[in-house]
């Protein structure tokens, strides 16, 4: 970092806050990528925008020029805003960093959260809020369009995988109780692991599968209800991100506060 000339708008504290969990090699790559961005733009100093571009390229992948229809673009906006509103309001969720509907890598849009600090231990309430954020995009689609799309596939897969570990490995289910089973990652539901030796019965596997499905439905019902209550904010945030394409955490807060003030006026 000492060898890289920095512009006055670079706040190293802010850069560090967005790199929680980065290794030394990751940080070196970030600085190098920011310097390359500055060189491509013929800048003599690396400014904050260079770090933003470098961070997004490393974390989200290269920007992609996807030719979306207006309807698809709106659907992506509502999906990401569903994630964002859940992240904004859930007390244990990691803080929002930004929303973008600019496609990166395989993603059509991204809602970015950054932990305040490195985490080595996760509470049940933190994991529950994390699942609610994951289901926010799918739930927003349900509210706005009355159906869901394939865009929520990875969210649903990750939420199911996390719940499986909560129920089967970490003892976070009152119905199943304090069990720490050595369940693999090959299949989402235990009943699918037919050929693998197991330390639990078929009946227990069915109970765990049932509990995962039950909890997923409960989390989705909560998320749909919560976003329905905050529909005015959901609409306002979707309009804002469709207009600007990318919103910072501060801009998200401004949009939501303005929508709330109009609602109570």
Q: Is 104 helix (H, G, I), strand (E, B) or coil?
A: strand
Q: According to the model, what pLDDT value does residue 265 have?
A: 64
Q: How far apart are CA 4 and CA 144, in angstroms?
A: 47
pLDDT at 198: 57
Q: Give me the long-range contacts of 70-74 (CB less than 8 A, separation at least 24).
A: 72/108, 73/101, 73/242, 74/238, 74/242
| Residues facing residue 247 across a β-bridge | 99
Sketch out the chain's domains with CATH numbers.
12-59 (1.10.8.60), 70-264 (1.20.58.760)
The pLDDT of residue 74: 96
- Could you give the CA distance from residue 148 to residue 140 in angstroms, rounded to a whole number? 9
**Per-residue model confidence (pLDDT) at position 194:** 46
Cβ(247)–Cβ(111) under 8 Å? no
Alpha helices in the chain (DSSP H): 12-17, 24-40, 48-59, 70-89, 124-145, 153-168, 202-229, 231-244, 249-264
| Known catalytic residue at 233 | no
Does residue 160 register a pLDDT over 70?
Answer: yes
* DSSP 8-class letter at 6: B
pLDDT in tens, 98-130: 999 988 777 788 898 988 777 788 999 999 999
Enumerate the β-bridge partners of residue 246: 100
116, 72 in Cβ contact below 8 A?
Answer: no
On the CB side of 101, how many CA atoms lie within 13 Å of its CA?
A: 29
The answer to whether residue 258 scores a pLDDT higher than 80 is yes
* Mean pLDDT, residues 73-88 taken together: 97
Is pLDDT of 239 > 90?
yes
Catalytic-role residue among 33, 52, 63, 80: 80
């Amino acid at each position: 970092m000492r060898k890289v000339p920095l512009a006055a708008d670079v706040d190293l504290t802010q850069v560090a806050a967005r790199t929680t969990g980065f290794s030394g090699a990751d940080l070196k790559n970030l600085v190098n990528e920011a310097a390359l961005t500055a060189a491509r733009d013929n800048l003599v100093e690396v400014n904050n925008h260079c770090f933003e571009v470098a961070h997004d390229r490393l974390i989200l992948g290269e920007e992609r020029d996807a030719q979306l229809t207006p309807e698809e673009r709106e659907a992506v906006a509502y999906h990401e805003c569903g994630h964002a509103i859940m992240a904004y309001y859930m007390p244990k969720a990691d803080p929002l960093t930004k929303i973008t509907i600019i496609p990166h890598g395989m993603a059509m849009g991204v809602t970015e959260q950054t932990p305040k600090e490195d985490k080595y231990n996760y509470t049940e309430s933190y994991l529950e809020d994390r699942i609610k954020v994951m289901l926010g995009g799918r739930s927003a689609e349900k509210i706005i369009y009355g159906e869901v799309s394939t865009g929520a596939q990875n969210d649903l897969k990750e939420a199911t995988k996390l719940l499986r570990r909560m129920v089967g490995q970490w003892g976070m289910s009152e119905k199943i109780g304090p069990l720490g089973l050595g369940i693999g990652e090959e299949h989402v539901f235990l009943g699918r692991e037919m050929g693998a030796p197991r330390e639990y019965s078929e009946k227990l596997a069915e109970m765990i599968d049932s509990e995962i499905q039950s909890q997923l439905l409960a989390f989705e019902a909560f998320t749909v209800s919560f976003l329905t209550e905050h529909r005015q904010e959901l609409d306002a945030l979707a309009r804002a991100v469709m207009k600007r394409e990318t919103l910072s955490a501060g801009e998200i807060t401004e949009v939501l506060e303005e929508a709330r003030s109009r609602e109570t006026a």
